[in-house]
A and B are shown apart, each in its own frame.
Chain A
Amino acid sequence: MKINNARSAIAGYAFAVAALFTTSALADGVVNIYTYRQPDLIKPVLDAFTADTGIKTEVLFLDKGLEERIQAEGQNSPADVIMTVDIARLTSAKEKGVTQPLVDEEINKLLPAEYRDPEGNWFGVTKRARVVYASKDRVKDTAITYADLADPKWKGKICIRSGQHDYNLALFSAAIAHWGPEKTEEWMKGLKANLAKKPDGGDRPQAGAIAAGECDIAIGNTYYVGLMRNNEKDPKEKEWGNAINVLFPTFENGLTHVNISGAALAKNAPNRDNAVKLIRFLASHEAQQVYAEKNYEYPVEPGLEPSETVKAFGTLKADTLPLVDIAKGRKAASEMVDRVGLDDGPSS
């Protein structure tokens, strides 16, 4: 029995090593992508890229530790392109030294300067707004500010996912940049007092909670509403999406918080040329259209309209606060969430 064990272990190891070399990263006509974005979300764009250029894409999805993995792999890392959501992840990749600067005239012409790193270490390719989902039945307000979320008139009526989630940390960090830490902390205490229940789940279940009558308003990202309203498989999701209106909350400057998803050229990209081609493609009109239509995200290309579903929300006026400032405040925002006890819910 032990001999069999050993034999199958050796065979398995040989098999595994062989598997490694068959997916080896150095073949021509390939670009290797390490991504925090789920494969299904980037697949439409990557398929279009392969159709255009003939370059195949290899995708590795990680949920945490992407930067650490590239760091550990060092100069032998097969990663060519890093794809992720959230500005803080992009700047963290730059700070951890797993990206390299890319100055490319074509890309710089396509992407507005506010959505890319001045040195070319990362590029924003889509944007999304963090908005208010309001019950169609119970909320008559047609406008709301972020500051209003702490107004006692909403006591027991607000739902939100964990304050420690990337999307909320970015919003709170933007608030800190606008209002300063003291005022933001007061505001967060007011928000906590207004919660209907302890934060949990993702953005979609918050819409579900509104549909169920647990709360009247919730904080969520725009594209989820598009995905819910167009979900043909699960009637429940459609019901959730249609139970809410999207309101664009604003800071004092009249603008709404946005975040980006982006891409970066990996430090030791073995297929650098293909990687550059991919990033160029992500910035192109074609890819921007795919992102808008399939994922209900806002294109970063100036003048390109979002999908019909998203247009129906109203007009987004995106905040002009520099994204890097939002990334810088992330740690302070995370500590503030703990200090205020936002995730404990309204009761304590």
Chain B
Amino acid sequence: MPTTGGAGGVSDTAFAANARALPVKRLRHPLIGALALAVGIVVILPVISLVFVALSGTGEDWPHLIANVLPGAMRTTLALLAMVAALTSVAGVACAWAVVAYDFPCRRILSWALVLPLAVPPYLAAYAFGEFFHYQGPVQSLVRTIFGFQTIRDYWFPDIRSTWGTAFVLASVLYPYVYLTTRIVFLMQGRNIADVARTLGARPRRVFWRVLLPVARPAIVAGVALVLMETINDIGAAEYFGVRTLTVAVYTTWLNRGSLEGGAQIALLMLVLVVLLLVAEQWARRRQRFHAGRGTHLKVHPPRVALKGWTRFAMPVAVALPILSGFGVPITIFGQYASRRLEQFASPDVGRAFGNSLMTASLTATLTVAIALFLLNAQRLSKTRAMAATVRLASVGYALPGGILGLGLLFVLARFDNSVDAFARAYLGFSTGLLLTGSAAAVILACTIRFVALAEGAVRSGMEKLPASLDEAARSLGKTPAQSATSVLLPLLKPAIMTAAVLVFVDTVKELSATILLRPFGFSTLATHVYENASRGVPEEGAVAAIVIIITAMVPVVLLSGALVRDAEASL
């Protein structure tokens, strides 16, 4: 049973125990340690700056917040988190298992199409769902036609503009995080221990529940953690549906009651909540290790069970449901609006926004993956608690609302620029002006800081599959840590690295709040272009850019899925 000790099967446990006894020294390279610490600090600078903002407050907002705002906001947020976690883990895990373990019509297409909803920003999804389930939308119109209702008062229809509705919308576009992280585990490892369990007499269903699910748990948790952080920092969907979460409270306190300090205090409270969730989960699986015993296991491709009878056709339908919801609904609504504005596809504004999105997203993806690899490898080699804490801390910013994180970074950058400028004026006799504030570099930096967690999560779940014995073996054969990382770990991590890069790329294309706050003059991305229209009440005018966002985000998603499948199948 994989719940205690090494999960790699009987022989592997023995192997792992031997590996631990090998006399490979921990890495104590001071330079790498210092560099990792420095990177970690840069990444949490915005959070530190927000702590200072929060501490400068008087706390005068709290009597009102405690009496009238926080109890409700806390309840709503927790309910939202619970519902989204439940929906995404069920949909993500079930779909991952279905496409890895079974063969059925359209399996290949569905296995990559399952990732598509990731391309849809939550605030656009909320708008699309609002229209789709609106009284005048297609669903209710159909209901009225079928049952012959005349007015809205003739029948009851669930209101999508509610906490559960928000949860449903967010889950529809966020479940791919869980699907992706879990599928990697099922592809990389799941099967061989499943085979062991089956030769020991366990039935397939039992194998799934008792062996594969526990083994996949770290990956599921990694995916759900990303989902929850996106849920807690969401402002677009919650605001549009009138659901008052903690993030909404942050913004009303800051903007409507003029207390940025109070807003920052609530935001930090949210961070504590997230950290507690993560710590609790870590504690719950403190004794577990899940990795394959040997490198060869990583390349074993699982044979799929061909479905027969009605399940052969029921399965593709079931697997298509989340795609229809998270991708079909938004593309239908925005496609309809865009079809009336086809000329905008050639508009120079949309073209420029596309170019900027592409540049920002590729640079951010490259940077975050490099940082995640560096930090995780440093942690893997040094094995100290301080290093593990640094790496963990580096990703908490993801839980903050983007606008608040952007504000924290804005203060840091402006302070830096103005200090450099003051120095130059005093000692060099010229002004350097603002170097980073209001530059495209600031936008990229903000996205990098915001999305390091994504890359870190994806790479970590890949790295946890790799036994320490792998690079210890490489190093005992005379490779340096760097050589071992590039020649042994990197090739094995390729699926995880590609997943990380795509996740960050897609999220950067969708990123709005920090970009809009930090960007230079005339710098529009696709997301800001859509938002400029949506925020004056005409999202229809942004439909073309919305479609371009979805397509832009789709391309790497599709490439990734193709590459993952090829990778897995090439090793057969």
Interface of A with B (CB < 8 Å)? 1-2, 5-6, 8-9, 12-13, 15-17, 19-20, 23, 25, 32, 38-41, 58-65, 68-69, 72-78, 92, 162, 164, 169, 197-205, 208-209, 211-214, 224, 227, 233-234, 236-237, 330-331, 334-335, 338-339, 341, 343-344
Is B533's CB within 8 Å of the partner chain A? yes
Known contacts A2-B370, A335-B64: does B537 contact A204 (CB below 8 Å)? yes
- Provide the bound-state CA to CA distance between A259 and B256, in Å: 16
What distance in Å separates the Cβ of A175 from its nearest Cβ neighbour in chain B? 16
The answer to whether A92 and B258 have CB atoms under 8 Å apart is yes
What distance in Å separates the Cβ of B513 from its nearest Cβ neighbour in chain A? 8
The answer to whether A331 and B257 have CB atoms under 8 Å apart is yes
Q: 9 A-B pairs, CB-CB below 8 angstroms?
A: A16-B441, A19-B523, A32-B521, A41-B536, A63-B531, A69-B410, A69-B438, A76-B433, A331-B258
The answer to whether A198 and B257 have CB atoms under 8 Å apart is no
The answer to whether A12 and B242 have CB atoms under 8 Å apart is no
Known contacts A17-B435, A198-B161, A208-B134: does B532 contact A61 (CB below 8 Å)? yes
Among B152, B406, B490, find the residue whose CB has the most chain A CB atoms closer than 10 A.
B152
Interface of B with A (CB < 8 Å)? 64, 67-69, 72, 130, 134-136, 151-153, 159, 161-162, 239-242, 244, 251-252, 254-258, 260, 337, 340-341, 359, 362-363, 366-367, 369-370, 373, 403, 406-407, 410-411, 414-415, 417-418, 421, 431, 433-435, 437-441, 444, 486, 490, 513, 516-517, 519-523, 528, 531-533, 535-538, 540-541
The answer to whether A73 and B437 have CB atoms under 8 Å apart is yes
- Provide the bound-state CA to CA distance between A15 and B443, in Å: 13
Additional 20 contacts, C-beta under 8 A, given A64-B254, A76-B417, A341-B68: A2-B486, A5-B366, A8-B363, A8-B366, A15-B359, A17-B441, A20-B440, A20-B520, A23-B522, A63-B531, A74-B418, A76-B437, A78-B438, A169-B256, A201-B161, A203-B537, A212-B134, A234-B340, A236-B136, A335-B257
The answer to whether B153 and A202 have CB atoms under 8 Å apart is no
What distance in Å separates the Cβ of A309 from its nearest Cβ neighbour in chain B? 17
* Cross-chain contact of B152 among A17, A61, A200, A214 (Cβ < 8 A): A214
- Provide the bound-state CA to CA distance between A274 and B433, in Å: 20
What distance in Å separates the Cβ of A21 from its nearest Cβ neighbour in chain B? 9
What distance in Å separates the Cβ of B329 from its nearest Cβ neighbour in chain A? 17
By a CB distance below 8 angstroms, the chain A residues around B153 are 213
- Provide the bound-state CA to CA distance between A156 and B68, in Å: 24
The answer to whether B516 and A200 have CB atoms under 8 Å apart is no
- Provide the bound-state CA to CA distance between A237 and B370, in Å: 48
What distance in Å separates the Cβ of B118 from its nearest Cβ neighbour in chain A? 23
Shortest 9 CB-CB contacts between residues of A and residues of B: A200-B242, A72-B414, A212-B135, A16-B441, A16-B440, A20-B439, A334-B256, A338-B68, A58-B521
By a CB distance below 8 angstroms, the chain A residues around B521 are 23, 25, 32, 58-60, 78
The answer to whether A9 and B136 have CB atoms under 8 Å apart is no
What distance in Å separates the Cβ of A254 from its nearest Cβ neighbour in chain B? 29
The answer to whether B151 and A65 have CB atoms under 8 Å apart is no
What distance in Å separates the Cβ of A206 from its nearest Cβ neighbour in chain B? 11
- Provide the bound-state CA to CA distance between A222 and B315, in Å: 52
What residue in chain B is nearest A340 (Cβ atoms)? B68
The answer to whether B540 and A233 have CB atoms under 8 Å apart is yes
- Provide the bound-state CA to CA distance between A23 and B434, in Å: 12
Known contacts A20-B440, A208-B134, A213-B152: does B340 contact A233 (CB below 8 Å)? yes
Known contacts A20-B441, A72-B414, A73-B414: does B359 contact A12 (CB below 8 Å)? yes
Among A59, A205, A227, find the residue whose CB has the most chain B CB atoms closer than 10 A.
A205
Among B69, B242, B541, find the residue whose CB has the most chain A CB atoms closer than 10 A.
B242
By a CB distance below 8 angstroms, the chain B residues around A40 are 532-533, 536, 541
Known contacts A8-B363, A73-B414, A343-B244: does B536 contact A38 (CB below 8 Å)? yes
Known contacts A17-B439, A162-B242, A200-B240: does B519 contact A60 (CB below 8 Å)? yes
